[in-house]
Chains A and B, each alone.
Chain A
């Protein structure tokens, strides 16, 4: 069964550093998403991406964050000047042409900011 692949599985970074989280969505999917889950809390929507541009973003997704689809397969989330409160699991997801019928999530990247 097709999978969404995320790398790395765990990243530790120092406060103030920039990190890039990487995702390879399912190949024929058109909609791409980033979510985060702080330990013990809800899964929260960050941003959706369609047709090479941001489609929707939440209040969490401020100027510190950016997304890019640098080629036909990768989808990245960049977090600039990381803060302690950015520590969380970050999930990438993708969906097909009827995006609202359900997503496939990746296994996540655990980001720890120290």
Chain B
């Protein structure tokens, strides 16, 4: 069974204080690892897809990295508007392209001014 574990569950940072969120996963064969941002009462907003170990992607203050067992979402000099829940999800390669994602519980990030 595919599993995704995110840590920490919650993180409070001061504005400008950089940190990393962790996503450990077990999957029969990884097709892709996804990072989403979710604001309260809203749907997940796509951030990144990573496909193979060693891959890195960046968007503004966010950088996602991938190893064979985990992924990190690094946030550099965060601003209050980066406050959200960050979700990690995996898709197994065992099935077709329409396979569902397995999500973690998320990391609730609060950036204080």
Q: Report A's interface with B, CB cutoff 8 A.
A: 4, 31, 33, 35, 41-50, 55-56, 58, 89, 91, 93, 98-108, 110
Contacts and interface: CB of A to CB of B under 8 A. Distances in A.
Contacts of B46: 102-105
A107 B42 contact: yes
Interface stretch (B13-21, B62-70, B76-84, B101-109): B101-109
A33 B103 CA distance: 14
A101 B49 contact: yes
Contacts of A48: 98-100
A46 B96 CA distance: 16
A104 B42 CA distance: 12
10 contacts: A43-B101, A45-B102, A50-B96, A50-B98, A58-B100, A98-B97, A104-B46, A105-B36, A106-B43, A107-B41
B91 A100 contact: yes
A56 B98 contact: yes
A56 B100 contact: yes
B32 A100 contact: yes
